[in-house]
Amino acid sequence: MNFKKDSRRSKNQNKNEQKKVLDKCYREFARINRKFFDAQLPTPVIALNQRFTARAGAFYPRTKRIALSWKYYLAWGLKELLGVLRHEVGHLALPKEGHSRKFKELLEKLDAPRYSKPFSKHPFRYEWECPNCGVKHWTRKRVVLACGKCCDRYNRGHFARNFQLQLVKELRPRRPPSKHL
């Protein structure tokens, strides 16, 4: 019986924390809307999604809804989540632009990240960087990869050695082999 009471209490605490986070998200949206858009943007419905595990946020243009990952908040904190919110507000302001040059300029103006930090059940082991454009990539295995954007732009989508990703650092060391054979 005590276990059920404790689990209910933690669920209530979790809901209270989610309400506080949503409140801060709405305040951040109002601040951005006033400062950069003269309060012209429609206020979207902002929701915390428990199921997002591979993305930090999403904007749904038809419904003018922004969904943010609760698990991303738990992994990285409020500051990073508000950065994702600013990114999604960029999509709200330019709904038909996608990730165009105009959109990227708006992200710089909003101080919003282009990419969210990685998070997953199985943490990444390696961090790679494109020698040409400097974009970072993360993998779980050590593999030979090239930057897709640079290969598309400069080599008609085919692999090119000069765009091969360079290992920046090993984020977590390999485990020693198991002795139980």
- The full set of domain ranges for the chain reads 8-110, 126-170
The pLDDT score that the predictor gives to residue 104 is 92
Q: 117, 80 in Cβ contact below 8 A? A: yes
Higher pLDDT, 171 or 8: 171
The pLDDT score that the predictor gives to residue 121 is 56
Percent of the chain residues past pLDDT 70, beyond the cut:
87
The CATH code of domain 8-110 reads 3.30.2010.10
Q: Which residues contact 157 (CB under 8 A, 6 or more apart)?
A: 151
SS3 82: helix
The pLDDT score that the predictor gives to residue 25 is 96
Higher pLDDT, 66 or 116: 66
Tell me what the pLDDT averaged over the chain comes to.
87
Least confident of 53-57, 90-94, 104-108, 175-179: 175-179
For the four alpha carbons of 91, 96, 101 and 106, in that order, the dihedral sign comes to negative
Higher pLDDT, 72 or 123: 72
